[in-house]
Structure 1
Amino acid sequence: MTDPTTTTLRMGLIRKQPGWTDEAFSRHWRERHGPLVARLPTLRAYRQNRVTDRLQRGIDFARGPWDFDGFSQLQFDAAAQADAAFNTGELAAEIRADERHFLGGLHIVTVEQTEVIAPPSPASSAGPAMLKRISTLRRPVAQSEEDFRREWKVHADHVRRMPGVAGYRQNVVVAREFEKGTPCGYAELPIDGIVELWFENTDTLNAAFASPEGQRTMAHAKTFLAEITAFVVEEFRVV
Structure 2
Amino acid sequence: MVVRMSIFRKKTALGTEAFRTHWKKIHAPIAMRIPGLQRYEQNVVVGRFASNASSGQEKAMVIDGICKLLFPDPSAMQGVFSPEMKQQLMDDEAKFIEALRTFVVDQEVVVSAAEKPLTKIVAFVTRGPGVGACDFTMRWKRDRATWAATVPGLEGYTQNFVTSRTIERGEATYEQVPIDCIDEIWVGDRSPHTMRDAIDRLHARAGALEASVYSFIVDVHVPTRVEVGVQP
TM range (shorter): 0.7 to 0.9
Query: Any conservation in 1 of the 2:206–2:213 contact (CA below 8 Å)?
Result: no
* Two-structure CA RMSD over aligned residues (Å): 1.9
CA distance in 1, matches of 2:196, 2:18: 31
Superposition pairs for residues 121-200 of structure 1, below 5 Å? 121=115, 125=116, 129-156=117-144, 157-180=146-169, 182-199=170-187, 200=189
Superposition pairs for residues 48-59 of structure 1, below 5 Å? 48-56=42-50
How far did residue 53 of structure 1 move? Answer: 1.0
CA distance in 2, matches of 1:24, 1:219: 36
**Which residue of the other structure, out of 21, 25, 28, is the alignment partner of 2:19?**
25
Query: Any conservation in 2 of the 1:15–1:106 contact (CA below 8 Å)?
Result: yes
Distance 1:218 1:91, change over 3 A: closer
Q: Which amino acid aligns with 1:92?
A: K
Query: Any conservation in 2 of the 1:87–1:93 contact (CA below 8 Å)?
Result: no
How far did residue 81 of structure 1 move? Answer: 3.4
Superposition pairs for residues 198-213 of structure 1, below 5 Å? 198-199=186-187, 200-201=189-190, 202-208=192-198
How far did residue 219 of structure 1 move? Answer: 4.6
Deviations 1:166-205 (A, max 9, x none): 111111001010221x222111110011111111123223
Superposition pairs for residues 51-70 of structure 1, below 5 Å? 51-56=45-50, 61-63=51-53, 64-65=57-58, 66-70=61-65
Query: Any conservation in 2 of the 1:106–1:178 contact (CA below 8 Å)?
Result: yes
Q: TM-score, normalization: structure 2?
A: 0.85
Query: Any conservation in 1 of the 2:103–2:163 contact (CA below 8 Å)?
Result: yes
CA distance in 2, matches of 1:142, 1:177: 24
Runs of 4+ in 1 over 6 A off after TM superposition: none
**Which residue of the other structure, out of 71, 80, 86, is the alignment partner of 1:86?**
80
Q: Which amino acid aligns with 1:44?
A: Q
Q: TM-score, normalization: structure 1?
A: 0.83
Show structure 1 runs of 5+ residues with no match: 1-6
Q: Which amino acid aligns with 1:195?
A: D
- The number of residues matched between the two structures is 216
Please state if 1:11 is matched with 2:5.
yes
Deviations 1:103-156 (A, max 9, x none): 1221010011111111122xxx3xxx4221111110012000011111111141
Identity in percent: 28
